[in-house]
Amino acid sequence: DAGVTQSPTHLIKTRGQHVTLRCSPISGHKSVSWYQQVLGQGPQFIFQYYEKEERGRGNFPDRFSARQFPNYSSELNVNALLLGDSALYLCASSFQGRETQYFGPGTRLLVL
Amino acid sequence: GENVEQHPSTLSVQEGDSAVIKCTYSDSASNYFPWYKQELGKRPQLIIDIRSNVGEKKDQRIAVTLNKTAKHFSLHITETQPEDSAVYFCAASRPGGSYIPTFGRGTSLIVHP
């Protein structure tokens, strides 16, 4: 049984560019959450989606957006990239957005 | 919002010793407290969790205790092994429409053989 998958694994962009990160949840899970993890810190919550509806939004600028598709996969979009956006972006899935979350391997984004 | 403080930031122990990591939280409504282990370059993995209706939970060499009054919870690892070396994160979340955890900054545990 596959766990949470994310693509791409690594990405290098330059300032001002746009990036799209993708996540597929565990089969049967209907909720996806996105987190940003900078080196030396814990994951910071960005978005949570359940049944294609946004359920929660963290303290991130409007350059960050996300959506969830009918198959429960999700995309995280970041516009006008800044150097400070360099981080590991983690996706986590859960059943109905409750409690236990299972993380994907992450996408490591480097902005030059 | 919720604020989670985690200590220590680094913990070095000898193989076979016990390790204790402590977290405090600010929101008294928080009722779910997971602990994650993250090895270098890998995803965070849930190792144990506790809900506010219990004070302690054990799973083999790992245990978590919760003091709701003081708003702190701790991870205890006994008989540490080199493969326990990793960064450990605590988190706290409150009930409601979604369980969105707030994470601590992490503790880097180093177990020396």
Order of strands, edge to edge, in the sheet holding B4-7?
B4-7, B19-25, B72-77, B62-67, B56-59
Q: What is the pLDDT of residue B98?
A: 65
Q: Does the structure show a pLDDT above 80 at A34?
A: yes
Contact B44 A99 (CB under 8 A): no
Q: What is the pLDDT of residue B92?
A: 93
Contact B43 A104 (CB under 8 A): yes
Q: What is the pLDDT of residue B96?
A: 65
Of the partner residues B91, B98, B104, the one whose CB lies closest to the CB of residue A56: B98
Contact A48 B100 (CB under 8 A): yes
pLDDT tens digits along B33-61: 999 999 988 899 999 999 888 889 999 99
* Nearest-angstrom CA–CA distance, A79 and A75: 13
Helices vs strands, H then E, count in chain B = 0, 11
Contact A48 B98 (CB under 8 A): yes
Contact B103 A31 (CB under 8 A): no
Pairing status of strand B19-25 against strand B72-77: antiparallel
Q: Which residues of chain B are within 8 Å of residue A40 when distances are taken between CB atoms?
A: 105-106
Q: Which residues of chain B are within 8 Å of residue A58 when distances are taken between CB atoms?
A: 100
Q: What is the pLDDT of residue A95?
A: 84
pLDDT tens digits along B7-27: 999 999 999 999 999 999 999
Q: Which residues of chain A are within 8 Å of residue B103 when distances are taken between CB atoms?
A: 42-44
- Structure token pair of residue A80: 């006008």
